[in-house]
Amino acid sequence: MRTLTVRKGSGGTYATGWHTLTVSGAKYGEYNDAKFLDVWFKNYPENFTLRVYEKRNTAGEEFAIGGVFRFANAGISDALDGPDGNVVIKLDDSAETLVGHQLNVYFHKEGEYSRALRQVAPTVFKNIVEEFTEADVEYWKGRAEKFYLDYVKNSTNGSTESVTTNGTPEEVVPF
């Protein structure tokens, strides 16, 4: 007779492609003076995370981690019309506000392991700031896939490689 222990909460699939995931936890950290946000997901083990490094535009506004909150529809409390016609979103960026919210996350292979692409896409929703339709979701998925093909995937053998600048991973242009 044999026994087999199955880890509870590790039943998620790791197939390459898009997965709609529910955030189960999030935490800020720092590595080599670069700030990041780690995100964990329901039904996936603790060692499978999405890590997004802080990036700022030329005006000094952080957009990479902010985009995770935007696309998760998390922590958004108000919006103001800016002088240039853009909308300024007011949000609570406490890591805890992400818990229970959903994101579309692209899984890719890195050798024999699956990784979560740091470029995420929204789900369909409407809030006080904006609305994401199926067409919008497909648009953002397409941008993330382009990022994957342009900066992550190594076209010679199908594995992936990290792209770094000054010790921190490259990010995409602001939203």
Q: What percent of the chain has pLDDT over 90?
A: 63
Q: What pTM did the predictor assign?
A: 0.79
The Cα–Cα gap between 26 and 134 comes to: 26
- Give the mean pLDDT of the chain: 85
The Cα–Cα gap between 107 and 70 comes to: 20
Q: Walk along the chain (175 residues) and give the pLDDT tens digit of each residue.
A: 666 665 554 556 889 999 999 999 999 999 999 999 999 999 999 999 999 999 999 989 899 999 999 999 999 988 888 888 888 888 999 999 999 999 999 999 888 889 999 999 999 999 988 999 999 999 999 999 999 999 888 643 444 444 433 344 443 334 3
Amino acid identity at 35: K
Could you tell me the CA-to-CA distances from 146 to 26, 99, 151, 152 in Å, in that order?
Answer: 26, 28, 8, 10
Burial class (CB in 10 A: 0-12, 13-18, 19+), 101: buried
Q: Which neighbouring-strand residues pair with 38?
A: 27, 51
Q: pLDDT tens, 45-56?
A: 999 999 999 999
Q: pLDDT tens, 134-165?
A: 999 999 999 999 999 998 886 434 444 444 33
pLDDT given for residue 162 in this prediction: 40
The Cα–Cα gap between 125 and 101 comes to: 11
Sketch the domain layout of the chain as residue ranges.
18-154
